[in-house]
Structure formats: structure tokens, C-alpha cells
Amino acid sequence: MQPGPERPGAFAPEFRAELARLMDRRRDVRRFLTEPVDEAALTRCLDSFLTAPSVGLSEPWRVIRVESPEARAAALANFEEANAAALADQSRGRATLYARLKLSGMRDAPVQLAVFCDETTPKGHGLGAATMPEMRRYSVVAAITQFWLTARAEGLGTGWVSILDPDRLARDLGVPPGWTLVGYLCVGYAQTLDRAPELETEGWEVRRGHLPVEAR
């Protein structure tokens, strides 16, 4: 069958193929090289936040670059305590597998970002968030996703650390009271950029082969 005519505004087939390849090769990276990240490339990645969708055009994302030894040590201790608690909570059959997993690149990643949602921002005038206030956090997730893909296109790996006490991290970083942690990101050049997710290759879980969609 011959392909139909391109719709106005559609990107070229070659670009769409590359976009699909980019999304397929996006991985959660935990093993980083310690070499510094090119600052111009990092700036381009951070600029992707500015093109992300946000409810009511509220742009509620707030990014803290965690750089000082004190801040990094506090974040790492936070992770290690939360990870130990999570390990203790595993069943006997899963504990050995859990202990084998590398769940953070915080010791090596040269760039670490704490991404918060400003729950009290006046920007956007509450449009879309009055009925669903969680939309502000979803907007931050969308921005992180754009950052993640942009970083991958720049040859950078990103790891999203969620095994943390978010309130403790907020206190340690001294952020305003209305900010909620959405993601702690480790960024740098990856030791390897594997095709398959590490959790899949380690046998923790299996990815779906298709997306179930129901009609109602």
C-alpha cells in the first residue's frame, strides 16, 4: 500500500522514525561516568522545560541543582536509609533480587537535579488546577520527560531516583513550604546505554508488548 499524503504540519517520515528510535532508546541510567557534563548541552536540556505543556500555563516546575558536598551527602543518606527500609520490606523471595539491583547513580552522577512542583504558584490563575490540583505535578512530570528525551538526544543519561523521603529532602535543601518533590534526577554520561531496561534484564519485571485500550 502506498503511503497517503502528508498532513499539513506533519514532520517528515525520517524524523518520525528517529523520534521513535529516541523514545525506544531512552533508559533509566544508574551507572555513570564521573567526567563533567558539557554545560552547553546541559543548558539545552534544561531549556526543554520552557517548551513543556503545563496546566493553565502555570509552569510550576522548580529546579534545584544539587552541587554542594553537604547537600549531596544529605540526599545520598536519604536514599540509602529509604533503600534499606525498602529492602527490609521485601518478601524473602524478592529480597535477594532487590539487593542485587542498582537503584541510584547518586555516588557518581556529575549533575544532580531536584525537581519540585510549586503547588501555590499564582501563575496560571488556577485554570485547570481548581478541579484537579494534581495537574500541576503532572505538568512537572511532562517537563521532566522532555528533559529526559533531550538529554538522551545529547548523548546524556538520566536516572530518576524515587526511593527518597521527599519531605526530608525538601527540608535539607531549604525549599519554600509550597514546593513538592516530583523527581530527583541524576544526569551524566552513561557507562552503557542499553536497549532494554535494567529491571527487565535483572528479572524484576516484564514489559508489556502492547497497550490495552478499552472502548466504553
> At 34, is the pLDDT very low, low, confident or very high (cuts 50, 70, 90)?
very high
The reply to whether 206 falls in a domain is no
CATH number for the domain spanning 72: value is 3.40.109.10
- Give a yes or no: residue 211 inside a domain: no
Residue 50 or 2, more confident: 50
Is residue 86 in a domain? yes
**Residue 105 domain-assigned?**
yes
pLDDT in tens, 124-172: 999 999 999 999 999 999 999 999 999 999 999 999 999 999 999 999 9
**Which pLDDT does position 5 carry in this prediction?**
63
**Domain region containing 179:** 28-191
- Asked if residue 170 belongs to a domain, the reply is yes
Q: Is residue 178 part of a domain?
A: yes
Which residue carries 524478592 as its cell? 94
Sorting pLDDT into bands at 50, 70 and 90, what band is 84? Answer: very high
Cα–Cα dist 148/153, whole Å: 9
Which tens digit of pLDDT belongs to each residue from 150-162? 999 999 999 999 9
Helix axes 92-100 and 69-88, enclosed angle (nearest 10): 150
Domain count, the chain: 1
Q: How far is Cα 211 from Cα 194, in angstroms, rounded to an integer?
A: 23
In a domain, 198, yes or no: no
The pLDDT of residue 43 is 98
In a domain, 4, yes or no: no
pLDDT tier at 186 (50, 70, 90 boundaries)? very high
